[in-house]
Amino acid sequence: MAYVKVDDIDLFYEENGNGLPLIFLHPPGMGHVVFHEQRKLAEHFRIIVFDMRGHGRSGLGSKEFSIALLANDLNLLMEALSIKEAVLIGYSSGGSVAQEFAIQHQEKVAGLLLCGGFSEVSDPFLQAEFRAGKALVHKMKVLSWILAKGHSRSEAEFKMLRSYIVSTNPYLLENFYEKGRRYVCTNKLSALHIPFMHVTGERAFYFHHYQKKYQKYVPHCELVRVSNAYHELPTKSWRELNQIIYQFATSIELNRR
The pLDDT tens digits of the residues spanning 224-238 come to 999 999 999 999 999
Give the pLDDT confidence score for residue 43 in this predicted structure.
96
Give the pLDDT confidence score for residue 119 in this predicted structure.
96
Higher pLDDT, 137 or 1: 137
pLDDT digits (tens, 9 = 90+) for 11-58: 999 999 999 999 999 999 999 999 999 999 999 999 999 999 999 999
Give the pLDDT confidence score for residue 7 in this predicted structure.
86
Confidence of residue 93 (pLDDT cuts 50, 70, 90): very high
CA angle 86, 232, 189 (to 5 degrees): 45
Give the pLDDT confidence score for residue 13 in this predicted structure.
97
Has residue 206 got a pLDDT over 90? no
Has residue 208 got a pLDDT over 90? yes
Sign of the alpha-carbon torsion through 84, 117, 34, 226: negative
Has residue 256 got a pLDDT over 90? no
CA distances from 20 to 114, 133, 179, 182, 220 (A): 18, 35, 31, 33, 22
Has residue 193 got a pLDDT over 80? yes
Give the pLDDT confidence score for residue 153 in this predicted structure.
95
Sign of the alpha-carbon torsion through 21, 35, 251, 193: negative
Give the pLDDT confidence score for residue 70 in this predicted structure.
97
Q: Please give, one letter per residue, the 3-state secondary structure of the chain.
A: CEEEEECCEEEEEEEECCCCEEEEECCCCCCHHHHHHHHHHHHCCEEEEECCCCCCCCCCCCCCCCHHHHHHHHHHHHHHCCCCCEEEEEECCHHHHHHHHHHHCHHHEEEEEEECCCCCCCCHHHHHHHHHHHHCCCCHHHHHHHHHHHHCCCHHHHHHHHHHHCCCCHHHHHHHHHHHHHCCCHHHHHHCCCCEEEEEECCCHHHHHHHHHHHHHCCCCEEEEECCCCCCHHHHCHHHHHHHHHHHHHHHHHHCC
Mean pLDDT of the chain: 95
Average pLDDT over residues 161-183: 95
Confidence of residue 116 (pLDDT cuts 50, 70, 90): very high
Has residue 257 got a pLDDT over 80? no
Average pLDDT over residues 119-139: 94
Q: Radius of gyration (Cα) for the chain, nearest Å?
A: 17
